[in-house]
Amino acid sequence: MSEWTLNILETLGYLGLGLVLVLENVFPPIPSELVLPLAGFMVGRGQMNLWAAVGVATAGAYTGALILYALGRWGGRPLVLRYGYILRIDEKALERADSWFARWGDWVVLVARVVPIARSVVSVPAGTTQMPLLRFSILTIAGTTVWNSILIWAGKLLGENWELVSRWVSTYSNVVAALIAVAALAGGLYLVLRRSGIGPRIPRA
């Protein structure tokens, strides 16, 4: 994957970076934690400008997120699930994203942009719930810019060792996944205890 990505970036430059980031959002198996540090390495070699790389990567990522948003908004869950095998999105992932929206609202779009396991799928429920496009765009671009800047800068700093970033992000992803699982378990346990009359109750004024 790294050799293929390097060939794309070296051959097409910024255009290649933008296209790969579009695909990364629509097809999650193409990892941004591999692409972006590589772009940072190229920045360090003088083949790309730092802020131009961040801008192009953000534009590509936003375009990919917008495709999924459109599928959710105008196609709905049935269309997304019909082509889920291509998008790598299944019903369980959609249900999980729906629960995030129900709990935290639109702001989950911003936070999810720096969470690898949620970066792509969160755009779908944003569309199915008809989240305003302007709000979706602002939150997506803001979160994506932060993520892209960190990974590209890290790749620039590490130079020849840019692939270490991918390992660090993998560890980070595992930690985030564990925290989400623990939070979901704790929330479920709380609801069970409360319904049974065992859990704490908040006194009414």
pLDDT 10s digits, 26-47: 875 567 777 888 888 888 888 8
Residue 78 domain flag: yes
**pLDDT attached to residue 191:** 53
Q: What is the pTM of this model?
A: 0.74
Cα 132-136-139 angle, rounded to 5 deg: 140
- Asked, for residue 187, whether it belongs to a domain, the answer is no
Quick check: is 176 in a domain? no
CA 177, CA 179: separation in Å to the nearest integer? Answer: 5
Where is average pLDDT lowest: 90-99, 135-144, 196-205? 196-205
Domain count of the chain? 1
Rounded-to-integer distance, Cα 67 and Cα 14, Å: 20
Is residue 184, in this structure, part of any structural domain at all? no
Task: Evaluate whether residue 149 is within a structural domain.
Answer: yes
Using the predicted structure, report yes or no on whether residue 133 has a pLDDT greater than 70. Answer: yes
Under a CB-based contact definition with an 8 Å cutoff, are residues 113 and 144 in contact?
yes
Check residue 141 and give its pLDDT: 94
pLDDT tens per residue across span 71-111: 888 887 777 777 666 666 767 777 777 777 777 777 888 88
User: Residue 88: which domain range?
Assistant: 2-162
In a domain, 195, yes or no: no
* Number of neighbouring beta carbons within 10 Å of residue 137: 16
Average pLDDT along the chain: 76
**Any domain includes 172:** no
Q: Is 202 helix (H, G, I), strand (E, B) or coil?
A: coil
- What is the biggest distance separating any 2 CA atoms in the chain, rounded to whole angstroms? 66
| Residue 94 within a domain | yes
